[in-house]
Structure 1
Amino acid sequence: MIKLKSPLLLASLFALAPLSQAYAADEQKIAVLIPGKHNDNGFMEAAYRGYEKIKAELPVEASYVSNISATSDPVLLTEAMRKLAQDGPDMIIAHGGQCNGPAEIVSKEFPDIKFVVIQGHVQGPNLSSYVVRQEDSAWLAGALAGLTTQSDVVGHISGAWPKPGLMGRAAFYDGLKHVNPDAKFLTWFTGDLDNTAINGQAAAAEIANGADVIYTMLNAGRQGVIDEIKSHDGKVRHIGNVSDWTQVDPTFVGSAVADASVAILNAARDLTTGDWQPNQIQEIGLGKGDVVKLTLADDVSPEVKQKLDELAAKIISGEITISTSYDGQEFNPASGEFVDQSFKESLKAKS
């Protein structure tokens, strides 16, 4: 197993691993690329859980690399993927929509390797995407926020801007407005999924402007929001994502579960069974087991639980169509003002 501690070690670590030693000759080989920290208590850790499931359940030789870039730098991700491909695995599974572009580039350079992007939206002759529909549980999270807010001000905080993150934010907003059309929405992308300080500061600003429920789509940076919310003596509640945060901290009123580890295992299993196909986008959504769901804290009222169950049934039946685009303004915590979404382009340039 090759495990990267920093982007600067990328080239040297791969150089230290001769191709002849990378894999045994008689097993199918799978490499998992995790852009962020594999133990971030968030989306990246889901990738590591998927890797562990591959190791435990499938007759393959699996390896992973992690902590490539905190800002999802496409150049670094492309180079990391290319280095993995040079070791000659049968399949490379790249985690996160930030790997869409790198996978499109590197898959063309290595046509004999199968490529998969988790939460991706790309496909090609040797490339497919496996998607856990986090927008389904994010929509329900928005409905939960709209049904439980006392101030009618709801916040959202995320870090990076890959397409799945933007879709999740839009779905949350759509669910919020479905049940509470008068609610005020404070949304912000801090530029870093792991930085506790800047994400905590964003939460403080949203709370100062009235938010009493905040939905976070973060990795390690979520702890900064948790700490800020705890300082408000139960007056502010938190909604998590990816895993069930209601089992972690009592500040969470719910969590928009979307277990991407299952998608990683599915892709690897499809390789071993011969069922993997190129040019595909495989989706797992609400109603397909426990992969995608909204979990609730014990203190959520029976009335709210019943309403959310009814809404979930309507999503599954197709009666509710989820919007995955958001065209509104964003709340800049540094200034306390609303700005157009184009404002974040300057933040991307700095990150």
Structure 2
Amino acid sequence: MKRLSLLAAAAAFALGAGAAQAADPLKVGFIYVGPVGDFGWSYEHDQARQAVEAEYGDKVETSYLESVPEGPDAERALRQMAQSGHDLIFTTSFGYMNPTLKVAKQFPDVKFEHATGYKRAANVSTYGSRFYEGRHVIGLLAGEMTKTNTIGYIGSFPIPEVVRGINAAYLAAKSVNPDVKFKIVWVNTWFDPGKEADAANALIEQGADVIMQHTDSPAAMTIAEEKGIFAFGQASDMKQFGPNARLSSIIDHWAPYYIERVGAMMDGTWESTDTWGGIDSGMVGIGEFSDKIPADLAAKATAAKEAIIAGELHPFTGPINKQDGSAWLAAGETADDGTLLGMNFYVEGIEGELPK
């Protein structure tokens, strides 16, 4: 009788331990290239992290590291997260690609998700947004709203994602304003408000009265507000930094994807995938239009957005030549994803040399 009681107690202990183990929260980590208070790229990723917590409650435990430089520091941060028991890690900048692959190989039981990259493994997925679709929409607005026919563009790094955006915006602006010119300043950083502000001022000195950007702080929007010109929000709406300057914005919506991927981890269906979502998927949002935009122009931009969603409009549809005049896309031909993902050239009409 005593033996049976001990066996029962042992069984109950085992069941209790198993239940406790099953109740352990899924540990999910996020690594950001900028501060969560950048009000741009990293801010929106962190808003999505908080949405994951709101969705799953105590079933999930999230953490993040902010302002992690690309390169060796990223590798150390990744290894630290993997060693501390994280089950799923999101690495949210292009320059984290090789560190992610390296650490993932060392921790095959940990799942990784890399934003804007193209290298995958059995435990590494990639995801990104077709920001160039949004660039087309706001490019139409910029092309008609400029009075000087000069649009300034602040670029971070000359990687395909950024080059695609410049080309898409230019082609759209040119389609409604044949006289438009783009002035581009490369700042070689994702987040540096000082450099971004200096770039905005330099572009204004060159005659730009509309500023676009592919950097992460609202510094350019602030400068545009001070100087009485127009600008567009990047990654988040940024209206609070330029209530008079802001015409619209491209808004990153990561929450649905993060919630879905965390859910896949919980139900055991996670697998390595590649996701490239656009306006139609909701990953790319277009902010409301300023009342400074004429109604007919707002209608034109809205129609373009709806045509992209319907699959009736592709921002890269020929005829389009490369900057050197060589043919790229014939009339009616659209660019394939492989070419877009590796885009390393300006289209015809853009002045200046693309940095290597």
TM-score, structure 1 length as denominator?
0.79
Q: 1:127 aligns with which of 116, 124, 129?
A: 124
Identify the residue that residue 321 of structure 1 maps to in structure 2. 314
| Partner Cα separation in structure 1 for residue 126 and residue 50 of structure 2 | 20
Report the CA distance between 1:89 and its aligned residue: 1.7
Residue identity over aligned pairs, in percent, reads: 25
Deviation at 1:290, TM superposition (A): 7.4
1:231 to 226, 229, 243: 226
Q: Deviations over 1:153-192 (max 9, x none)?
A: 1111133445433333332223223333331011122022
1:36 and 2:34 aligned: yes
2:171 to 170, 174, 183: 174
Matched, 1:259 2:256: no
Q: Distance in 1 between matches of 2:101 and 2:107?
A: 11
- Deviations, residues 42-88 of structure 1 (Å, cap 9, x unaligned): 1011111121112221221211111212xxx3121122112211123
1:78 correspondence with 2:75: yes
SS at match of 1:93: strand
Corresponding residue to 2:213 among 213, 216, 231: 216
**SS state of the match for residue 341, structure 1?**
coil
- The CA RMSD measured in Å over matched residues stands at 2.4
Change (3 A) 1:28 1:34: same
Which has the larger displacement, 210-219 or 287-296? Answer: 287-296
* Deviation of 1:272 (Å): 2.1
Matches within 5 A, 1:57-206: 57-58=55-56, 59-69=59-69, 73-206=70-203
| Structure 2 gap segments, 5+ residues each | 1-20, 317-339
User: What CA distance in whole angstroms lies between the structure 1 residues aligned with 2:193 and 2:22?
Assistant: 41
Mapped to 2, the partners of 1:129 and 1:245 lie a distance apart of 27
User: Where does structure 1 lack aligned partners over 5 or more consecutive residues?
Assistant: 1-22, 330-337, 346-351
In structure 2, give the amino acid aligned to 1:38: V
Give the drift of 1:133.
2.3
- Distance of aligned partners of 1:239 and 1:78 in 2 relative to their CA distance in 1, 3 Å threshold: same
Q: Is the 8 A contact 1:36 1:67 kept in 2?
A: yes
Match of residue 249 from structure 1? 242
| In structure 2, distance between residues paired with 1:157 and 1:261 | 27
Is 1:302 equivalent to 2:295 in the alignment? yes
> Is contact 2:131-2:284 (8 Å) kept?
no
Determine which of 54, 63, 72 is the counterpart of 1:56: 54
Decide which of 281, 292, 298 is 1:288's aligned counterpart: 281
Distance 2:201 2:241 in 1: 21
Q: TM-score, normalised by structure 2?
A: 0.78
Question: Does 2:211 align with 1:240?
Answer: no
What is the alpha-carbon distance in structure 2 between the residues aligned to residue 28 and residue 319 of structure 1? Answer: 41
Q: CA deviation at 1:316?
A: 2.2
- Give the Cα–Cα distance (whole angstroms) in 2 for the partners of residues 177 and 267 of structure 1: 39
Task: Choose 1 or 2 for highest CA Rg.
Answer: 2
Contact 1:136–1:285 (CA<8 Å) still a contact in 2? yes
Supply the AA of the counterpart residue of 1:340. Answer: E
Kept in 1: contact 2:216–2:234 (CA 8 A): no
- Contact 2:221–2:241 at 8 Å: present in 1 too? no
- Please report how far the alpha carbon of residue 197 of structure 1 lies from its aligned counterpart in structure 2 after TM superposition: 2.3
Instruction: Count residues in correspondence.
Output: 305
8 Å Cα contact 2:47-2:255 kept in structure 1:
yes
